[in-house]
């Protein structure tokens, strides 16, 4: 790989800015780390899956995530019963990109790089908002819940102004 491509921040084999390093479940914000080196993962609901999802609409061995030599992740559907979607488009074989939404069954996972690891999409922000408010209601007073709601709403508005997906 040329120095110019590496300097531009494109994919490298060692965790550069464009290399997908994980998937975050959109509703629960659960993170699934993906090694940067050569590796293949099976995503599914069964015991043999490397990335296990508790979703009855996900096949036992739903799709494969295959790390490519250039650092990219190739997603390959394994004849799943409900299909594999990237950004709403059904696919048999496709590459993940930063902030791509990979949907299997009723579960959506968001791909992230080192640069976007802590950036939440509006849907992820809403999930964080619900968790914060629920936690404040269960563990605190209604006043704490209202404060958590106000803070989280401000964050979501800021994300929406910034043009985040």
Model confidence over 70-82: pLDDT tens digits?
888 999 999 999 9
Model confidence over 18-34: pLDDT tens digits?
788 889 888 777 888 99
Closest CA to 97 of 118, 124, 68: 68
Token pair, residue 60, equals 């036992």
- Count of residues making up the chain: 165
pLDDT for 157 beyond 50: yes
Percent of the chain beyond pLDDT 90? 41
Instruction: Give the pLDDT of residue 6.
Output: 31
Integer-rounded Cα Rg, in Å, for the chain is 18
Model confidence over 93-152: pLDDT tens digits?
999 999 899 999 999 999 988 877 767 666 666 666 666 666 666 666 677 667 667 766
The predicted model scores a pTM of 0.67
DSSP string, 46-83: STT-SEE---TTS-TT-EEEEE-TTS-EEEEE-S-SS-
């Amino acid at each position: 790989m040329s120095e110019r491509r590496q300097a531009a921040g494109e994919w490298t084999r060692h965790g550069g800015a464009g290399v997908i390093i994980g998937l975050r479940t959109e509703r629960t914000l659960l993170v699934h780390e993906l090694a940067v080196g050569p590796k293949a993962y099976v995503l599914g609901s069964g015991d043999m899956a490397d990335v296990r999802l508790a979703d009855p609409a996900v096949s036992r061995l739903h799709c494969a995530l295959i790390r490519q030599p250039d650092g990219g992740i190739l997603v390959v559907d394994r004849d799943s019963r409900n299909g594999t979607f990237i950004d709403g488009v059904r696919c048999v074989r496709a590459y993940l990109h930063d902030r791509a939404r990979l949907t299997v069954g009723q579960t959506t996972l968001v791909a992230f790089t080192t640069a976007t690891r802590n950036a939440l999409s509006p849907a992820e922000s809403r999930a964080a908002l619900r968790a914060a408010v629920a936690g404040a209601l269960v563990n605190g007073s209604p006043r704490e819940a209202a404060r958590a709601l106000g803070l989280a709403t401000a964050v979501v508005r800021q994300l929406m102004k910034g043009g985040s997906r």
